[in-house]
Structure formats: C-alpha cells, structure tokens
Amino acid sequence: MNTIHAINGPVVRVADTKDFSMLEMVYVGNRRLIGEVIGVSSDCTTIQVYENTAGLKIGEPVVPSGAPVCAALGPGIISNIFDGIERPLRDMTKLSGAFVAEGSAIPSLDEQRQFDVTVTVKPGDKLSGGDIYCTCPETPLITHRCMIPPLMQGEVTWAAPDGKYRVNDVIIKLRLDSGEEKELTMVQRWGIKTPRPVKKRLPISRPLITGQRIIDTILPIAKGGTAAIPGGFGTGKTMTQHQLAKWCDADIIVYIGCGERGNEMTQVLEEFSELIDPKSNRPLTDRTVLIANTSNMPVAAREASIYTGITLAEYYRDMGYHIAIMADSTSRWAEALREISGRLEEMPAEEGFPAYLPSRLSEFYERAGYCETLNGSEGSVTIIGAVSPQGSDFSEPVTQNTKRFVRCFWALDKSLAYARHYPAIDWNNSYSEYIDDLTEYYNENCGTDFLKLRQEIAAILAEENKLMEIVKLIGADVLPDDQKLVIETARAVRVGFLQQNAYHKDDTYVPLEKQKLMMKAIVELYHHSLDAIKHGVPISEVIKLGFFDRVSKIKFEIPNDELSMFDNYFKELDEAFAAL
Amino acid sequence: MSIQYLGLKDVNGPLIALEGVKGAAYDEIATIRLEDGTERTGRVVQMEGDKVILQVFEGTKGISLKNTKTIFSGRPLEMPLAKEMLGRVFNGAGKPIDGLGPVFPEKTADVNGQALNPVARQYPRNYIHTGISSIDALMTLIRGQKLPIFSGSGLSHNKLAVQIVKQARIADENSTNDFAIVFAAMGVQNDVADYFRRSYEENGASERVAMFLNLSSDPIIERLLTPLCALTTAEYLAYEKNMHILVIMTDMTSYAEALREFSSSKGEIPGRKGYPGYLYSNLASLYERAGVIEGSTGSVTQIPILTMPNDDITHPIPDLTAYITEGQIVFDRDLEQRGIYPALSVLLSLSRLMKDGIGEGYTRADHSAVANQLFAAYAKVQDARSLASVIGEDELSDIDRSYMRFGQLFEDNFLNQGFDENRSMDETLDLGWDLLCALPRSELDRIDDKLLDEKYDPERASRFLS
C-alpha cells in the first residue's frame, strides 16, 4: 500500500512507488482528501491536495483512483454553485454548516432530482461521439442534451421510454464496435485538463453583444473570442464582469470566482436571482453556473477551478450553445501556480512565477473558440479573464503573458476610476483585434455607417489625447476655436457616451441601435459646430445652444424603447444651426 | 504516557527539526520542555519520513540540540473561548497577561478556522456609525465588511483607531445585539500598546474590548498567531454569542514581515520583494474571516491597519490587501502636515460595500447623491490645483477658483474634525450640503433637480466665508 512520506502545505509526497500516473486523481489520508498527481519520478510521487492538509500524518494511505480529475457533466449544473472541484456548495451547507469541511464526498449533481426526459434514439440507431440521445429541460431557459461521450461509437441496443428519470438512471444501452455493451446514464465524466474535441473550428464572425457602449462599439469582442480585463484594485474589474455576465447575449454564463472575495460571490448569488433577463423574463440564475473558490479556500482547488469552469463550458458548447466564461481573477490562478511551484522547489522565472506560466495561460485561452461540434451544431466559448496586476503595474508577468494570448485588451485605468468614470476602460491603452473579423456583421446588421461613426468617435478621442498634453501646460483658453471644439466634443463623448451608469435602468444595457444613434448625435453635432466655426461663429455661441449638455444627458433622457425621440433631436439640431 | 523525544536534529531561526518521530500530524502542536523546566509551544510545519520541522512560537533562544524534551499533543492549535474574554488583555498567543488568571473556557476552538462557504454568507448591508464625517459619508463602514486603513509611519492612524473604538456604534436601532471590539496589536512598540490600553481605560471602553498584544520585541512566530487568536475570539463572539464584533488589527505590515522572516528561515522560494508566494492566500485567510452568516445575527467587521513602507501604495502588502478587502481608507501625508485630522485622502479611499448599505432605510435618502457630488467636486479641485500650480492662481477661471475655495473649505471643515468630536449622520450630511452650496448650482451635476430645489441655498455656505 502507498503511504504518505512527506507533507509541506498542500503538497504531499509518496516514496518508492510506480503506481501513479501524471494528473491522476488520488485520495489522500484516512479522511480521503482529494488530490492530484503533479510529479512522478522513480523515487517519489508528488501530489497536490485540494483540501486543507492539517492533521494528516506520515504513513496514512494514498489511494489512486485510476482516472484524472474529472468533472461530472449532466443536467443539474445550471443555476448551481460549485467549489473549484465541482462540489455543490449548497448541499455542503446541509452537511457541514456554514464552514467548508474537508473530505466531504458529495456528488456534484443532485442524484434525487427527476428530469422530464425525451429519448431521441431507438434501438438499431448507430451513434458516435457527440450524438444526442436524450433531452430534458434543465431550467426554463436551457434544454439539456445528453450526448454520447466523444471517442465512443456503437449501436443502440435498448432505449428507455420517455419519462421522469434521475441523472444516474440508464437511458440507453450501446453496443460498442468492440462488442462490449455500455450503459449510458445522463452523466458523463471528462478530465478537466483535456479540451473536449470538436469537429472543426469556424472563423470568428459574430460579436458578443454586451450592451456596454465602450465594448460594443469601440472595443468589441467576438463570440468565441478572448479578452482580458487588467486593472488595479478599485478600478472595477469585478463590476465590469458582473455587467457582462448580466447583459451579454450568450446562452449560458460560467462565472468563476477564482481566489476572490466571499462577499462578492454572495452578491452575485443574490443579485442574479433577483435580476430578470429582459429577453426571456426569467431570473439570470436560469442561465448561470457559479464556481466559487474564494481566496481563503484551499489553493490547489483554486488552480483547478479555472479548468472545471472551462470544461463545463465546453460541455454546453458541444450541445450547440454559446457560452461566456467570466474568470475573476486569472492572476489568483497564476499565484496558485506559483505557490504550488514554490512548494515543489522548482526553479522560478520572473517574480517567482514558474517558467511554465505562459504555456498554462495559452492552453487556457486556446480553449475558447467558435466551433462546429461533433454533432454538427454550432457553439462557442468566449473567455473574459480579469487580471489583477501587482501594484497596478501592467508590465508584470501575468498581464504581459496574458496580453500575448488574448485578442481583446480592456485596460482599466486608476485615474478614470478615481474620477468615478465607469466603466474605467482606458480607450488609449486598450485594443480589440476583432474589429476586422466583425466588419461584415456590423455592416449587415447595423448599417454601413456604424463603423464610420465609430471611426470618427475614435479619431476625436485620439485628437483630444494629443491636445490635452498642451492643455495641461498652458490651459485650454489659448487654443484656437476648432481645437476647443475637439475638446468639447471629446468631453461629450466621454461623459455622454463612454461613461455608463450600471445602476440606471436604461443605461445599464443599451441596444446597438441606440448606441449608433448616440454616436450619430455627437458626430452630427461636431460637424455642424465645425461648419459654424469655419464660418466665423465663435465657439461660445455654439456651446450656448445647449446641445453639448443635451448630448451628454441623452443616455438618460431617451429610453431604450423610444428611439424615435432621436428624430426630434436631429431636427432641432438642424434648425438651431441653420439659424446661426 | 505520551512519548517524549529527547534532543533535536537542527535549530534554524525559529525552526527546530526532530528525527525519528512517529505518528505526528501536520499542523499539530507540540510542547517543548527545556532543562530549566520552562515550556515552549511549537507547531509542525513540514514533515518528511520520520523528520519533523516545528516552528517555536516563543523563539529558539537557549535551545540546544540536546537540552529539550518534545511531546506531541495530537491536536491543532486551540484556544479557550468565553464571553468573559471581553475586558481582558492577552499576549499574541492568546494567554492572559493582565494578571487576572486564566479564562474559564466555555469551549475551545482551532485557531486556524475554516473557510466560510460563500452560500452561507449574507451580503452585508447595515452600517457602523463611527462619528467621523469623512468615513461615515464617503467611505461608509458596513457590518461584515473588511475595510483596511493604509497609513504611513508617523501619521495619526493610531489616534484614528482609538477614536473609532470609542465612538463606533451599531446604527440600526432594531438591533439589540451587543457591540464589542477585539483588538489585535502585532509588532507594535511598547508605548503604542500602552497608549491603546490607557485610552480605552480613560474612555471607559475597556469592558467591551478584548486585547491581544504582541509587542515589537516579542517573537515573530507569536506575531503570526496574534490575528488568528483575535479572529477566533471574534468569530466565537459573533456567530455563537450573536454579537457585533469590530476587529481592529494593527500593524499588518509587521505581520507580513514576520511571515517573510519565517518563510526565509524555512528556505522557501521568495516572490516579490522577498515575501513568500503565498502572502496573498495567507492574508486572505485572515481578511476573509469577516462576514455575516446565515443562522446568526452577529457579525465580524474588520479594520486592519497597515503602514505603507515609504508611503508606497503599490508595495506588496497594501497592494495584496486591497485586492482582498472591500475597499480601503488611505492616509495622506500632505494633509497631515497641514494639520488636518484625520488626514484621509478622499479620492484614494473607497468602500465597496457602501452602495448597498446607505440611503433610505439605512442612513438617509440623500446620502448617495451628497457623497457622489462631494467625490466629483473634490476630484475637480485636484484638477484646478494642478492647473494653478502651472499657470498661477490668478489666471484661473471663476469656476476653477470657486473649486479652489471649495477644496479648502472641504478640507478644513469636513475632513478636519476634533479627536473628541462625534458627529451624527445628519450633522455630517448637512455639513456636506453646506459645503456644496459654496459651489454654483450649475456645477452640482450629480444631484437631481428635485433634491437641489429642496436643499440648495447659497446662504448655507455663508458661515464658512465670513
């Protein structure tokens, strides 16, 4: 029997054994704590333990499970809240009260809950990996489709009739090509560190519409894309992720609270169950899965939480859904890697992070994508990862390495946050590489002027950035009128367009159509004013017309469902400037 | 009769190593008996085969390789708990040092605590009244929150901590729960500890304070235990005795430095600035012990105080702290030098939980409007000041000049407050209105017109101008 030879924090070693394989799940000690093999050599096997190791003794048994750390995939995942290794936290409170106890072997999915199952295959059907054999409503929004596990194929020899089943009931029997007969329930298991296969990757072509103006118009993200939100403390990373999780047009949200605050997860739980999704009139929890591994929960499980989250997302993608993953925060995950690496006495690279940090980050972000699944449907996984740079310094290793693997970079800025400009995304330092991929979509769905307006807005902001260098030195009074106009317009863009109030009922989510009209309102005002100034009208006269104030408040004054009110604005604008 | 292990293999800083040990458990406590009969306490921090490494809380002074007998207890570090701990003074390891004898325990608990299940938490909503305008109005402290104070050496954070202790009260009239304070001092100088003790006595606050004192000359391993003991006491009083507990921990910088010292003597690979890679997780295991849980009407609120080395907010200790805590209160040396007390930097400070704990039903309906407007106006004051420092005050526009004046008034009247001055929420918010009235009405863009009609009156500011 294998026994513990050494213990150092979450790292446990077993001496002289050849029984373990890399990344295998093991049970450690008499309390059967869950661990994972992270190093194998001829004289010792190294294990990281996902639970608190206090109280373990040398000589306690270590038992191999024969399989890698797996996620249980089946109905009952949506609306649930799990810890980093997919243990349901709600059920855990019934077992161990308010605190997380160790070694609690709770099944991930509720084994007693009954689902209304429709079986979609009959005996004689030939099925292969990814084919759907039964469906059931998981929440009022999401229909769960049970699929043959990838890499498996065979002929159906028996199928249960439609009816109510629990997750572990046998739904079909399959005779594999090898002749073996396999019973399939509604649950399958998949190793969290292995990406689930797809038929092929499709080119990226559709935006993830978030209703947040600076994102949708200036720095768009595509379905199947990757984005990073780096920002120091207090700049609103979590707030931005909450807004995206609430409003983006993905079918399912996987929200990973990785090493973050406990109260924040409580807030997500409370808010999402109260908030009603306007598109479906159902609480947001009906499309959300939460994975909570707060900062004080064991560090090795923090490392696993990211993989658990993405595995759940891939599973739903395979059913043909569009998933958005919010990972808050990937820096805590990187720190978990560093902590474990330090315990293993590995040679550190930059700032103590292990040398394999970039490859782990790229493996994670590469699991995003827009795909044709094994059963021929289309699905996508979009990853939006928050990064918490140490000392708000974007040159630190996690931010820099993340930047190499994401195509959308929303840099949050401290000075914007201090001025209470939210979302505090700094338009000068951020970028999105998706704009070219999405051009066709915008032209077809928002009109060809959408991107032109975007270009003009971006140009005004860039121009202002240059002018502000001068203003900081000598004040704005000395500038010529046309440059003053740029500054005035840019202010309107910042206050009226980029700033968005998450607590205002209309402003918290703005449809693309209104975003376009808002841009148009500012751009037309700029053109009219520029004309007037060229004809010798002083800028003070132009400002006196009051349109700059109006355009800054238009986001509150025109409700999202009464966009015809913009016609009035444009009419008055034309008349006022004609009179000048 | 338990086994005694004679002698040691190794002594290294606060760590000792033993060989030939059987059946020791990770994290368990051992008693080390010296030849002269004194006893020390150690904790298992690493094990390999029959070799065990212990950290000695009281330090290894006088320990040789052969003058010790070590006995393993088979239990993690536990401390006795009772409601009578309020009013008492303990050392960093939780042993009474006020000469009043041991605490008669109602129960004992593992000081490491366990992680709170996020599902069992309640989102914190009710505020704690501190009587300090800047905190109450602009960075409101919420029950169950962890809100650190970032200060620098020589600034008046200790004075502020004392003022908070003596003035803090639960603002919610419906709550009948008792309010008490657990105070943990880590690595503070003798006279600072004395200052705290004396001030609590003078203010009659001592009966509702449990003090844990680890002085700067006390062993560093004991310093690592101090917050654990304090928080275990706080959790017991809050969740089992249904009290509202405010935990004040000072100075977290000394704690983190003790952790660094301990880590390097263990030979661990250092992260940034030599702090161990697990500094974040370690701090989180303390800070995350604040909260409100289902099934109990008590709460644990934390105010950790730390001095930023060289006033650098990007130093790992304040940086990692602010990533875990729900906001921060930041001291400003320039204001302090101008004689403002408490010298808090309004723009750098933030309370993340404030938005859900203020307004109608909690503080006052206009609170959030006043706070937002004060923030926005004070941010513009900084712009005006930086412009003035380039082009001179005389060249400023009228609006900028009125902001300069507002900034001065705000700092002198709103931020600045006496050590014995306990302002009610109404006083604070009305004062905020008075100051805002020193600005032209058109500048108050974060407040809606209806509220302005009701409250705005330039006369209100006149008392400052005369």
Whether pLDDT at A7 is above 70: yes
Residue pLDDT, tens place only, A483-521: 999 999 999 999 899 999 888 888 999 999 999 999 999
Q: What is the mean pLDDT of residues B265-280?
A: 85
Decide if B262 touches A, using CB distance below 8 A.
no
Whether pLDDT at B448 is above 90: no
pLDDT at B462: 86
Q: What is the mean pLDDT of residues B88-115?
A: 90
Least confident of A103-112, A119-128, B372-381: A103-112
Q: For residues A369 and A381, is the Cβ–Cβ distance under 8 A?
A: yes
Tell me the average pLDDT of chain B.
90
Contact residues on chain A for B269, CB-CB shorter than 8 A: 341-342, 345-346, 348, 352
Decide if B376 touches A, using CB distance below 8 A.
yes
pLDDT at B172: 67
If contacts are CB pairs under 8 Å, which of residues 417-456 in chain A contact chain B? 418-420
The pair phi, psi for residue B290, each rounded to 5°, is -85, 150
Whether pLDDT at A179 is above 80: yes
Residue pLDDT, tens place only, A432-467: 999 999 999 999 999 999 999 999 999 999 999 999
Contact residues on chain B for A92, CB-CB shorter than 8 A: 117, 119
Whether pLDDT at B173 is above 70: no
Nearest to A289 by CA among A321, A330, A325: A325
At A60, the pLDDT band (50, 70, 90 cuts) reads very high
Tell me the average pLDDT of chain A.
91
Which of B269, B351, B446 has the most A C-beta neighbours within 10 Å, making it the best mutation to test the interface with A? B269
Chains A, B: CB contacts under 8 A, how many? Answer: 199
Which of A233, A293, A305 has the most B C-beta neighbours within 10 Å, making it the best mutation to test the interface with B? A233
pLDDT at A196: 96
**Angle A239-A240-A242 from CA coordinates, rounded to 5°:** 65
List the beta bridge partners of residue B180: B245
Residue A167: Cβ within 10 Å count: 23
Distance from CA of B338 to the nearest CA of A (A): 23
Domains located in chain B, CATH noted: 4-76 (2.40.10.170), 79-356 (3.40.50.12240), 367-465 (no CATH)
Q: For residues B42 and B54, is the Cβ–Cβ distance under 8 A?
A: yes
A296–B348 CB contact, under 8 Å: no
A234–B328 CB contact, under 8 Å: yes
Distance from CA of A8 to the nearest CA of B (A): 5
pLDDT at B175: 63
Secondary structure (DSSP) of B396-418: S-HHHHHHHHHHHHIIIIII---
Residue pLDDT, tens place only, A257-269: 998 888 888 888 8
pLDDT at B178: 85
Supply the DSSP symbol for A347: P
Helix (H), strand (E), coil (C) string for A289-342: EEEEECCCCCHHHHHHHHHHHHHHHHHHHHCCCEEEEEEECHHHHHHHHHHHHH
Nearest to A515 by CA among A211, A271, A142, A156: A211
Structure tokens that stand for A416 in this block: 């914007």
Contact residues on chain A for B320, CB-CB shorter than 8 A: 390
Distance from CA of A347 to the nearest CA of B (A): 9
Decide if B285 touches A, using CB distance below 8 A.
yes
Which of B281, B311, B354 has the most A C-beta neighbours within 10 Å, making it the best mutation to test the interface with A? B281
Contact residues on chain A for B278, CB-CB shorter than 8 A: 9, 299, 339, 342
Question: Could you tell me which residues come within 8 angstroms of residue B302 by beta carbon, excluding any fewer than 6 positions away?
Answer: B145, B146, B147, B148, B246, B247, B248, B249, B287, B289, B290, B325
Rounded to the nearest angstrom, the gap between the alpha carbon of residue A539 and the centroid of all alpha carbons in its chain is: 45
Distance from CA of A36 to the nearest CA of B (A): 19
pLDDT at A1: 82
List the beta bridge partners of residue A7: A12, B47
Nearest to A157 by CA among A182, A129, A187, A193: A182
Whether pLDDT at B12 is above 70: yes
Whether pLDDT at A321 is above 70: yes
Structure tokens that stand for A199 in this block: 């038929």
Distance CA A155, CA B246 (A): 65
Q: From residue A87, give the alpha-carbon distance in Å to each of A108, A298, A337, B81.
A: 5, 13, 21, 32
B112–A54 CB contact, under 8 Å: yes
At B235, the pLDDT band (50, 70, 90 cuts) reads very high
Q: What is the mean pLDDT of residues A233-254?
A: 91
A418–B348 CB contact, under 8 Å: yes
If contacts are CB pairs under 8 Å, which of residues 210-249 in chain B contact chain A? 239
List the beta bridge partners of residue B181: B209, B246
pLDDT at A469: 87
Whether pLDDT at B1 is above 60: no
List the beta bridge partners of residue B304: B249
Question: Could you tell me which residues come within 8 angstroms of residue A446 by beta carbon, excluding any fewer than 6 positions away?
Answer: A512, A513, A516
Q: Whole-model pTM?
A: 0.91
pLDDT at A103: 61
Distance CA B96, CA A346 (A): 43
Residue pLDDT, tens place only, B54-78: 999 888 888 888 888 999 988 888 9
pLDDT at B344: 95
Decide if B75 touches A, using CB distance below 8 A.
no
Nearest to B189 by CA among B224, B151, B218, B164: B218
pLDDT at B174: 64
Among A218-232, B168-182, B381-395, the range with the most confident prediction by mean pLDDT is A218-232
Structure tokens that stand for A85 in this block: 């290794």
If contacts are CB pairs under 8 Å, which of residues 469-488 in chain A contact chain B? 472-475, 477
Distance CA A279, CA A129 (A): 33
- Taking the alpha carbons of B26, B22, A58, A102 in that order, is the dihedral positive or negative? negative
Answer whether the bond into residue B466 is a cis peptide, omega within 30°: no
Distance CA B216, CA B257 (A): 11
Rounded to the nearest angstrom, the gap between the alpha carbon of residue A109 and the centroid of all alpha carbons in its chain is: 23
Least confident of A91-95, B103-107, B404-408: A91-95
Q: For residues A119 and A172, is the Cβ–Cβ distance under 8 A?
A: yes
Decide if B48 touches A, using CB distance below 8 A.
yes
Residue A392 identity (one-letter amino acid): S
- Taking the alpha carbons of A196, A202, A204, A206 in that order, is the dihedral positive or negative? negative
ipTM > 0.90 for the complex = no
